[in-house]
Amino acid sequence: MKPATATAAGRLFVISGAQAAGKTTVGRALADALPLSVFIDGDTIGNVVVSGKLLMTQPPRIEAIEQLFLRYAAALTVADVYRSAGFDAVIADNIFGSYLDDFLMIAAPEPVHLVMLTPSIDVIRAREVARDKNAYRDGITVEGLVDTIEHDTFRVGLWIDNTALSPGQTVTQILRRVGEAYVDTREFDQQDEAPAP
């Protein structure tokens, strides 16, 4: 009798960007394009909190940041369960600014294929109006998030301006340039500061 062959772990993809940048749509489309995959939506993970849930505001409350980190850890835990069985896992969530460093520290030492979507402010506004959500409230603005992504987020992984791209075209870019998305999270493991870009 032959010994069981260990299943190779699946890849971990993370799709980020400002609210209404297209994370969920692109993340689902990417998962659909992969032969064996799961899609993990950050909002869905966050909504498992049914009592005492705190939303992020500007400025944020400490307790809300703690819940955000729990959300990150929970999404990564779900991803690890499926990745251990050979599934590629695609997480879509709001991960930028200093929180990107925190996410990568939580993910360490697992490698991450990070994609940051950077559509124009006008496109973000139009998408926000078209969808049934109210992400921009409590001091959070489109301009503020775009500024944080452009100026306060380490430029690691693959950054895609999807202003004029369909979800399918964006996924094609991701798959063609997957090597550029690779982030070695060991560089962030247990460090107080992220490495220089």
E-strand ranges in the chain read 12-17, 37-41, 88-92, 112-117, 158-160, 182-183
Chain position carrying tokens 């260990």: 6
Determine the average pLDDT of the residues in 34-44: 97
pLDDT tens-digit map of 100-143 = 999 999 999 999 999 999 999 999 999 888 877 777 777 889 99
Return mean pLDDT, the chain: 92
Helices (H), 13-141: 23-33, 42-46, 62-83, 98-107, 121-130
Which residues lie across from 112 on neighbouring strands? 183
pLDDT band at 196 (very low <50, low <70, confident <90, very high): very low
Domain borders along the chain are 12-187
Higher-pLDDT residue of 158 and 191 is: 158
Among 3.40.50.1000, 2.60.40.10, 3.40.50.300, 3.40.50.10860, what is the CATH number of 12-187?
Answer: 3.40.50.300
pLDDT band at 195 (very low <50, low <70, confident <90, very high): very low
Task: Tell whether the model's pLDDT for residue 183 goes beyond 90.
Answer: yes
Dihedral, 61, 131, 24, 98 alpha carbons, nearest 10 = -30
Task: Tell whether the model's pLDDT for residue 6 goes beyond 80.
Answer: no
pLDDT tens-digit map of 141-154 = 999 999 999 999 99
Tell me if 139 sits within 8 A of 57, measured CB to CB: yes
Distances in whole angstroms, Cα of residue 65 to Cα of each of 24, 53, 155, 166, 193? 21, 11, 22, 32, 18
What pLDDT was estimated at residue 35? 97
Chain position carrying tokens 């973000």: 124
What pLDDT was estimated at residue 12? 98
Dihedral, 166, 42, 183, 127 alpha carbons, nearest 10 = 30
Task: Tell whether the model's pLDDT for residue 10 goes beyond 50.
Answer: yes
